[in-house]
Structure 1
């Protein structure tokens, strides 16, 4: 039975199988009432944020259901990989390391679930793409995987970008500075050529996770889709496209084929970004859509702003930070990218101090390992880094503002954070550890451990 096995290791694992697993394990609610993709769907989904995933079975004026919430509950997501939430970042890390050492390359097939139907006419308005937040500038693809090929080497890149529908065959998208897709495009644009892409919606979580691996772990000359192969335990299947020379994901729900046009910019935004604020409307890159294929009975997948974005970012970043910091600082026990820090801006590092000053080294190493960070808080091994109350307790009882704060002015920041000015921001590290060796006054109150199963309780 699938609920007893590891879902991602099952033959032909896909989003539909993930939904089935979540249904069997009380991880999904089904909304039978008709909902509107214009803001109402997001409003209903928000009521379940951080808990169960949501399947909207009846979407007003649309032919296909919509699924969301896959990435906002770490324990539910981890169940698909056969582990718990704390182990999940390291399971993903192990797959990245295995791929780096001995890659399992994807295979290309001519036919698959995602091209069972080839739409005779391109019309993106026929897809149930939601408008999420109240001030969003339009309908957005938020968790679709963009695949492109290096115009010089042909190496694939996979990424997740925000993409706004602007017409029946037209999209506007953001490409962040420093991302591999941006490098590909700028070289193509310089040569006066479009950059062909596919946009795969409704991929399984192994593909999504491969697409959000930090660039430090997936260099530009490597095809990170092989990471999904390692997570699956078999080569990922990619689908030969109808028109463009770039593949889509064979087990996706929809595949959109197109090209990012050279020298063309059109308005995109506002959009509810990872910061919890709206990204401004501005001229951005334009996709001309050439073909759309789909499953016979597809489910559109969308990612909600808020905890789902924060969590999906944090999962991939934590193990990477842990490894990089551990190489430089002994005694690191764990790393957590907090939800309150948007999964991008605040890391809590747990350390077993072996001498005074190591906590400051850990702060500096953590900033270097994840440049988007604005804050790093270091705590002792007796503090639960996943519990914000515990972290606040450590700050309230172990942190001294006159001695235990490290400020780094004019550091490189994340461009989407509104605190960043001309690419620069200030960063702060907080030492919430006890002195070393620990004085008696910092002995935590504790009680006798018991096994509650040994007691008769009504």
Structure 2
């Protein structure tokens, strides 16, 4: 634990302790009391402050931001951008940004199951609103934002849905939740999501699926929840990942209105049930034809038939902080990308110990579609091994679309350096490998037979390997120019440059 002179670093176990950590790091968190409308204004402001990612330009990577004066919602605050920076995630995970992949790798192998606690520890239940109250209206309780004027409606963008199946276990995932009425939301499931499998099993029996939607969390919980199969198979409780990151179990409490668990230290919990055999239009109140901005940078299409969550209660902490994100921003890159990196690194380290030295899920792919793989070649056989590593990566993370292979002397996090390697160490006719018609992700608009008639269905894609590594027998022909390593600090102290001691 750091000294007080370095900023008191108490353990992080909820959102408020994470924010307190950031307050000791200048430039990582700002607050404003200027009134803000959650309908379009909040996202419009943060686009220019710190959204980054694939957001429409101009945008930038900047601080997280708390809006303390939300129009129409006295006492409520909205936080955006908590993990919209790799450096910020490193601060909250006690890890340098370039070592986060290994931090996540360690969490995979040292997970800790959540534990149950009693209502006396349920910070999330300090204030309770029950849907049986005749005045209940979640639209007046929680300031769900809209991102753009084309959104189907207000969305909870950082709602961690928690549900259990009596035979398969417990699962947590983040889904698109559109507020439709005072006590109804639609929920969008991308194909293959585990909670959707739970829902289908319940629906086949004519039963609803009881859920809690948890918001305002320790960032380790949100990032841990984004792991996918095969790293986390059906029924695996992703809350174990957060326990592995913190080396402390996540605490759960019984819901007040449904037979489902809630995260005890959440800022906000919505309790409810996914109704069997009920479907509604996502844009029923606006008819825009659009849903909301998704991580690839485009507005998703409004779905004409989605499952419905009937809300039974809302519980909050006092003066709660509702957490949201700007859909295509850097926040999604951290949420999806760090688990992508950890999953790929874990699998390749098992298959080829020591060969893979780095994995980076690039911002341009929203943390899902584009990754960079760095390997250490020691002989000519490794020219083939590195391409085998790429194939394994596609098998580990099915939504990955493009993969760039680089050598150890290229900075995996520096896009200019990666493009330099692609420019000087790659020939298109020998070093680009495509794999046609493989399962991908439905939110990429190019993954559609309308775009490429050779694709069998929406959500299938050609996957591409860009081998920007030097053939081993030519390694001495591609050695970079070397410069003297001189400490620059005495010559430019005003730049506050770092130099290893």
> What is the CA distance between 1:5 and its match in structure 2?
5.3
1:135-154 per-residue CA deviation (whole Å, 9 max, x = no partner) reads: 2111111112111011435x
Residues 8 and 24, structure 2, Cα contact 8 Å, conserved in 1: no
Which one of 64, 79, 83 corresponds to residue 53 of structure 1?
64
Deviation for aligned residue 1:93 = 2.3
The separation in 1 between residues aligned to 2:313 and 2:326, in whole angstroms, is 26
Can you give the 5+ residue segments of structure 1 that lack an aligned partner in the other structure?
A: none
Aligned: 1:105 with 2:122: no
Q: Which sections of structure 2, spanning at least 5 residues, go unmatched? A: 51-60, 283-289, 449-456, 495-501
Query: CA, structure 1 residues 434+235, in 2 after alignment: closer, same or farther (shift >3 Å)?
Result: closer
Q: TM-score, normalised by structure 2?
A: 0.86
SS in structure 1 opposite 2:101?
Answer: helix
Aligned residues of 2:105 and 2:345 also touching (Cα < 8 A): no
Alignment of 1:7-406 (within 5 A): 7=10, 9-10=11-12, 13-26=13-26, 27-49=28-50, 50-63=61-74, 64-99=76-111, 103-111=112-120, 112-120=122-130, 121=133, 122-126=136-140, 127-153=142-168, 155-268=169-282, 269-282=290-303, 283-305=305-327, 306-329=329-352, 331-354=355-378, 355=380, 356-406=383-433
How far apart, in 1, do the equivalents of 2:64 and 2:178 lie?
A: 24
Give the deviation of 1:313 after TM superposition. Answer: 0.8
| Root-mean-square deviation (Å) | 1.9
* SS in structure 2 of the partner of residue 340 of structure 1: helix
- TM-aligned CA distance change 1:138 to 1:309, over 3 Å: same
- Kindly state the Cα deviation for residue 308 of structure 1 after the two structures are TM-superposed: 1.3
8 A Cα contact 2:251 2:263, kept in partner: yes
Separation of aligned partners in 1, 2:209 and 2:279: 14
In 1: Cα distance, 2:213 partner to 2:363 partner = 28
Q: State the distance in 1 between where 2:389 and 2:242 align.
A: 31
CA apart distance, 1:426: 0.7
What is the CA-CA distance between 1:51 and the residue it aligns to?
1.6
Q: Per-residue deviation at 1:358?
A: 2.3
Q: Distance in 1 between matches of 2:29 and 2:483?
A: 38
201-210 or 322-331, larger mean C-alpha shift = 322-331
Task: Describe the shift of the 1:151–1:439 C-alpha distance in structure 2 as closer, same or farther (beyond 3 A).
Answer: closer
Q: Is the 8 A contact 2:106 2:244 kept in 1?
A: no
Runs (4 or more) in structure 1 with deviation over 6 Å come to: none
SS at match of 2:199: helix
Residues 69 and 2 (structure 1 numbering): CA distance in 2 closer, same or farther, change over 3 Å? farther
Query: Could you tell me how far 1:238 is from its partner in structure 2?
Result: 1.1
After TM superposition, give the deviation of residue 226 of structure 1 in Å. 2.8
Cα distance change, pair 129–437 in 1 and its aligned pair in 2 (3 A): same
Tell me the SS of whatever aligns to 1:86.
Answer: helix
1:429 matched to 2:465? The reply is yes
TM-score, normalised by the number of residues in structure 1: 0.94
Q: Tell me if structure 2 keeps the 8 A contact 1:35–1:60.
A: yes
